[in-house]
Structure formats: structure tokens, C-alpha cells
Amino acid sequence: MRIEKDSIGELQVPANAYYGIHALRAKENFSVNDEKLHRELIWAMAMVKKACAWANWKLGLLNEKKAKAIITACDEVAKGELDREVIVSCFVRWCRHFN
């Protein structure tokens, strides 16, 4: 385990987890069930984050090393390689309104 801190306090996060304290707090506070997000929604969020990283890099607001790390991680998420790291199901109930 690793200890992470935020404005609320400290939490133990699994040492090998890609997610951090904020995702863990969201899971504790907003989980309505154990149902996972739809693969398409995970892919879409990864693509938006990738585009934001690229744009911020090109605007000089994000250094190249961080931008490339985010872009690489987004590509891995988009391929489904990190689905196990998406631990929050809070959108599931909301998304059902549109099905």
C-alpha cells in the first residue's frame, strides 16, 4: 500500500494502482453498485483527455514529458489495457436515463 494525502486527509491506496486518492474517495462516496462503466464511455473519456493533453502541450501549458506520458496512458486506456483501474461506477445510473 502507499499513503496519499489530500485536503481531507490520508488514505491507503494499493501500491500498484494507477488511480489515486481522488478516485478512491469517489468510489467510497459515490458507488451505487459494482457495475462497470461501458467500454465506449471509458474510450471516449480517454480520447478527450488525450486531446486535452496534446492541446495543452502545443500551447506550452504542459511540458513534453508529462504530455507524452498522459497520451501514452490514454492510448492504453482506449485499448482496454487499464479497464481494471476504472473503479468508479457513479455514471452508470445517470447513463441509464439515456438508453
Cβ-contact 43, 82 below 8 angstroms: no
pLDDT at 52 over 80: yes
User: Does 45 have pLDDT greater than 70?
Assistant: yes
Q: For 45-74, what is the mean pLDDT? A: 97
Q: What pTM, to 2 d.p., does this model score?
A: 0.70
Gap between the Cα atoms of 96 and 28, Å rounded? 21
Question: What stretch(es) of the chain map to CATH 1.10.275.10?
Answer: 33-99
Which comes out higher in pLDDT, residue 33 or 40? 40
Quick one: fold of 33-99? Fumarase C; Chain B, domain 1 (1.10.275)
3-state class of 8 per DSSP? coil
Task: For residue 3, give the 3-state DSSP assignment.
Answer: strand
Rounded Cα distance, 10 and 2, in Å: 10
pLDDT at residue number 49: 96
Mean pLDDT of 50-77: 97
